[in-house]
Amino acid sequence: MGFTLGSLDELMVDEVLCCIAVDRKGFVFGVTSWLPVFRDGRVISWTLDFMRRRSDAFPGLMEFMIASAVHELRQGVEVISLSGSPLAGETEEFSSGEAGLAGILDLVGRTLEPVYGFRSLARFKSRFQPEYRTLYMYYQDSLEIPAIGAALSRAYLPGYPFAKLPGFSAPWSPEKEKGSRSLCGTLP
């Protein structure tokens, strides 16, 4: 199992659809890629993966590119996905046993926000009024939670010097989680 995190590697796969916004002179302003989801050898869904634009692109370019792709791709598929935002801080009920995971995911999400932008990406995607589906992470032992947080961090930003980020190396304790009601959200 792997992660799809909008890297250039996925753009090299033949089945991946790449959409490019160019002006009349052929100047590239934005790129999106869509990963196919197969069932029984047939594409049943497309998932937004790679999304980049020039800093001087016109306002609304990404919205235009996504809406255009959805318009073209919606025929013959069951779902078009904008992809998940697992560290964006969506609130959810959880049992007291999940407080440790909530703390780790919140710490990772808050710490990586300036670098990756999970929460700002989720706000951007909300403009399309998507149907939200819960993402689950299964683990066997709560002692694995810190390693899960570290693995998520490395998956989203491989090679990044996390020890230099403020608060990333701060010790975590269950006492900080009391009263929290969010699986991936901001803690009080």
Whether 2 maps to a domain, the answer reads: no
Whether 91 maps to a domain, the answer reads: no
What is d(CA 17, CA 20) in angstroms, rounded to the nearest whole number?
A: 10
Whether 187 maps to a domain, the answer reads: no
Whether 51 maps to a domain, the answer reads: yes
State the total domains in the chain.
2
What is d(CA 122, CA 117) in angstroms, rounded to the nearest whole number?
A: 9
Q: What is the CATH number of the domain that holds 29?
A: 3.40.630.30
Tens digit of pLDDT at every position of the chain (188 positions):
334 456 666 667 778 888 999 989 999 999 998 989 899 999 999 989 888 889 899 899 999 999 999 999 988 899 898 887 777 765 454 445 566 667 777 777 787 777 777 788 888 888 888 888 877 777 788 788 778 777 776 776 666 666 555 555 544 444 444 433 333 333 23
101, 167: one domain? yes
Q: Which tokens is 97 given?
A: 């046993």
- What phi, psi does 143 have (nearest 5°)? -70, -15
118, 147: one domain? yes
Whether 1 maps to a domain, the answer reads: no
Against a cut of 0.75, is the pTM above it?
Answer: no
> Which domain range does residue 20 map to?
8-81
